[in-house]
């Protein structure tokens, strides 16, 4: 563990949102995949809400061409609000989309060189502070949220903290996988190594990295001179692996539900389950599912 008195708080978060979203074409031809809605909130909104719950103040979006609507979603829509007010409609539905002036920053990733490169693009804004990373495709639902659980762990052990989940052994080759060490506390494990998309026979565990990170700023210098890894891209996992042994590194097993909204089936699953969890929709959704199930008999 590190000295808590010297530990900097987690105030900044990086959201890599420059991807093309090709798995959801043609829907993502003109709309960023991060703006696809799960019921009535876009994916990026869930990630931002999770960040704010964890006490994060500054949001850093690493964007690309055609991503303007992500930023506009968190801007003030004067015409919309004036029209709603004039019609006597409440504006509280828009509260979550309001960001305090100066707390949203964007930077461009001009070339698609991978997640590690996207994170590196935010280096000047991150500066010398530890920071969080959110992959919006990974929708994490829990109480408290995933990042708040991680910040609580970070406040205890410091260093670098990542979120992990247990998956069936046969699925590990699709993910970054950790080599676990000693268990520090319930759900908090030391990380001895990381492997990006290992072969099944080479995987050190079935604990996968699940789209949430708290990293020290030194990772930016590691990424600076890093070559391409798996898939011909600059992998964040490779940079983190090089930091193990030089800084504390731990994994939090997320107590909650993860939906892979980068896949069509995961997107539909998230929509159905979150709708069933809402008081205003549960009864209608239950009836709908029963009706659809009956057609399959």
Q: Is the pLDDT of residue 3 over 70?
A: no
Could you tell me which residue, 2 or 194, shows the higher pLDDT? 194
> Which residues lie below 8 Å from residue 137, measured CB to CB, with a gap of 6+?
33, 43, 211, 260, 261, 262
Q: Which domains does the chain have, with CATH numbers?
A: 8-262 (3.90.550.10), 263-297 (no CATH)
pLDDT at residue 102 greater than cutoff 50: yes
Longest dimension (CA), the chain: 64
* 233: pLDDT strictly greater than 90: no
Could you read off the pLDDT of 129-161 as tens digits, one per residue? 999 999 999 999 999 999 999 999 999 999 999
Q: How far apart are CA 22 and CA 40, in angstroms?
A: 22
Q: Against a cut of 0.85, is the pTM above it?
A: yes
């Amino acid at each position: 563990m590190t000295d808590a008195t010297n530990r900097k708080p987690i105030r900044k978060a990086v959201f890599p949102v420059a991807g093309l979203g090709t798995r959801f074409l043609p829907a993502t031809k003109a709309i960023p995949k991060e703006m696809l809605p799960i019921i009535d909130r876009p994916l990026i909104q869930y990630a931002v809400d999770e960040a704010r719950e964890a006490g994060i103040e500054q949001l850093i979006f690493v964007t690309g061409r055609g991503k303007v609507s992500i930023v506009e979603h968190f801007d003030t829509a004067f015409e919309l609000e004036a029209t709603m007010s004039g019609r006597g409609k409440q504006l509280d539905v828009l509260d979550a989309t309001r960001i305090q002036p100066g707390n949203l920053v964007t930077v461009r990733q001009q070339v698609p060189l991978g997640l590690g490169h996207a994170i590196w693009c935010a280096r000047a804004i991150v500066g010398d502070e530890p920071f969080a990373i959110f992959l919006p495709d990974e929708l994490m639902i829990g109480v408290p949220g995933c990042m708040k659980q991680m910040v609580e762990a970070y406040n205890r052990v410091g260093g670098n903290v990542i979120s992990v989940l247990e998956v069936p052994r046969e699925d590990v080759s699709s993910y970054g996988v950790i080599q676990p060490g000693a268990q520090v506390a319930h759900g908090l494990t030391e990380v001895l190594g990381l492997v990006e998309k290992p072969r099944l026979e080479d995987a050190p565990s079935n604990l996968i990295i699940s789209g949430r990170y708290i990293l020290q700023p030194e990772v930016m210098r590691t990424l600076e001179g890093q070559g391409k890894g798996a898939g011909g891209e600059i992998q964040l996992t490779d940079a983190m692996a090089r930091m193990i042994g030089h800084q504390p590194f731990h994994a939090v097993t997320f107590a909650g539900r993860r939906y892979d909204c980068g896949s069509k089936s995961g997107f539909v699953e998230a929509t159905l389950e979150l709708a069933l969890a809402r008081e205003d929709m549960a009864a209608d959704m239950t009836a709908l599912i029963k009706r659809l199930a009956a057609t399959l008999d």
